[in-house]
Amino acid sequence: MNRSTTRIADLCHHVGATVTVRAWVIHLRSKGKLGFVVVRDGTGVLQGVVVKAEVPEADWAAFGTLTQECSVALTGEVRADARAPGGYEMGVRSLALIGASPLDYPIQPKEHGIDFLLDHRHFWLRSQRQAAIMRVRSELELAVHDFFAARDFVRCDTPILTAAIGERAGLFSTDYFDEGTAYLAQTGQLYGEALAAALGRIYTFGPTFRAEKSKTRRHLTEFWMIEPEMAWYDQDDNMDLQEDFVRYLVERVLERRPEELKVLERDTAPLACVSEPFARVDYTDAVRLVQEQGGALQWGEDLGAPDEAMIVDHYQRPVFVVNYPKEAKAFYMKENPADPRTVRCADLLAPEGRGEIIGGSQREDDYDKILHRLTEEGLPVEAYGWYLDLRKYGTFTHAGFGLGLERTIAWICGIEHIREVIPFPRMMGRLTP
Ligand code: 4AD
Ligand code: MG
């Protein structure tokens, strides 16, 4: 880094001083012997005012060659100016073109189709809106670590190449030397359970992979998940923690990223609902509620997006749907002693039609029951030897959950489709850029 340059966000500390800013050109205008160049450096925007008589001749000539998205160094005096974009202006004294940008820069100030924008994601990220989303994402990632650090959880990293299958969703696989097929992890949970027995309370935060063929606004094939796993927690403790966690994440963004939410034109009023207790509804009651509203959902089925929307609209705040039928959920969930047709689990549905952002459960801790479930699901029992061992050697009550980072960001930012909240989305039909 060149220490003699200043980031646009720091200009407020340099009013009256002469500084150098290195940035990319987003707008150009000139009138006779007066020129305006608006630049961005990822931290803010700055308008430079170039007066022919006040810069060397070569620099005035260079100004004439600037184009959209070329990179430049501008040196001059910083002035506060409420009318200028960003609030500051620079009286440019010298200017240099660093990297030219041909006139065919693909993204122009006009409407582009979504596929075009995704094909040019490497440039699209330069827009103010996309940068705001990435800053909220970064804030949320920090918030996740702060939340768990304050509660003395240990962060653990789990493998991405695995032999044991965690969820029912589609699998990506690859040949793994002489060991047969390796799967890209759909979840870190099974390893999280082993780690919880070693450390007490842990969380994982990593990429997860699902060969989802669904083209919906909430499915990616590669997404990031936060998966806490807690020894000696039952499902009620688990939901209490989730409620605290989600409330903390929302409040943290409201408090620390108001500027970004403004750029995104997010109406933050609906987010205030997180300060109330979340609703907790039994699956059976949720099915009845959907049926009363004309939905076709039958007992035994997992909820579809329209079902979830009906349920959340009814409560107008985040809703836990608890105790799903066994057949609708993964093999590792604990049988509900009060109704063995169901399991001790909950999906947390976010408001504003966002649907499920968390899936969580208490884990089956009985050796015979979980072995039975593995067999019933047709899973290769030999790959789960180590997992079964956790029930054989000192089994323990434990629970955990997985929060989908992208769905959470999309909800908080009010972004329709989750492809916009990850820098380079992976979906069916998209592997580049
Ligand atoms: O409900 P899921 O499948 O739960 C698990 O993977 C458990 N192993 C979690 C646990 O108990 N440790 O996924 C958890 C969350 C979902 O609620 C959703 O937010 C997100 O992960 N998710 C996806 N996000 C984007 N694209 C996809 N294809 C997703 N699939 C799940
Ligand atoms: Mg789920």
User: What would the mean pLDDT of 242-254 be, rounded to a whole number?
Assistant: 98
Give me the chain's average pLDDT, please.
Answer: 96
Q: What is the pLDDT of residue 89?
A: 97
Distance CA 410, CA 407 (A): 5
* Identity of the amino acid at 57: E
Predicted confidence (pLDDT) at residue 325 exceeds the cutoff of 70: yes
Instruction: Give the pLDDT of residue 67.
Output: 98
Of residues 3 and 115, the one with the higher pLDDT is 115
Instruction: List ligand 1's pocket residues with C-beta within 6 A.
Output: 166-167, 187, 189, 210, 212, 219-220, 223, 225, 227, 356-361, 400-402, 404, 406-407
Looking at the chain, which residues constitute the CATH 2.40.50.140 domain(s)? 8-99
Q: Omega of the bond prior to 270 within 30 degrees of 0, cis?
A: no
Spacing, Cα 370 to ligand 2 middle (Å): 19
Q: How confident is the model at residue 196 (pLDDT cuts 50, 70, 90)?
A: very high
User: Structure tokens of 251?
Assistant: 């409040």
Q: Is 110 left (phi over 0), alpha (psi -120 to 50) or beta?
A: beta
The closest alpha carbon to 50, from 67, 37, 62, belongs to 37
Q: What mean pLDDT do residues 371-399 have?
A: 96
The preferred substitution site among 165, 407, 411, 412 for testing ligand 1, maximizing ligand atoms within 8 Å of CB, is 407
Question: How would you classify the pairing of strands 181-184 and 161-162?
Answer: antiparallel
Quick check: 86 and 37 in contact, CB under 8 A? no
Q: Which CATH superfamily is domain 121-420 in?
A: Bira Bifunctional Protein; Domain 2 (3.30.930.10)
**Six-digit token pair at 261?**
């939410």
Give me ligand 1 centre to Cα 28, in Å: 46
Model confidence at 109, in pLDDT bands (50, 70, 90)? confident
Distance 365 CA to ligand 2 centre (A): 20
Residues of the chain with CATH 3.30.930.10: 121-420
The confidence score (pLDDT) of residue 423 equals 98
DSSP assignment letter at 293: T
- pLDDT of 166: 76
Residue 164 has pLDDT above 90, yes or no: no
In 315-328, which positions are buried (b, 16+ CB within 10 angstroms) versus exposed (e)?
bebbbbbbbbbbeb
Query: For the domain with range 8-99, which CATH number is right: 2.40.33.10, 3.30.390.50, 2.40.50.140, 3.30.413.10?
Result: 2.40.50.140
Contact 393, 230 (CB under 8 A): no
Output the pLDDT for position 199: 98
What pLDDT does 84 receive?
A: 87
Cα separation, 78 vs 130, in Å, equals 27
pLDDT at 329 over 60: yes
Ligand 2 midpoint to CA 357 (Å): 8
Q: Which two tokens stand for residue 17?
A: 């001083």
Lowest mean pLDDT among 22-31, 77-86, 243-252: 77-86
- Model confidence at 378, pLDDT cuts 50, 70, 90, reads very high
For the whole prediction, is pTM greater than 0.75? yes
Question: Whose C-alpha lies nearest to ligand 1, atom 21?
Answer: 404
3 pLDDT higher than 70 = no
Hey, CA dihedral for 282, 338, 302, 163, is it positive or negative?
A: positive
Residue 26 has a pLDDT of 96
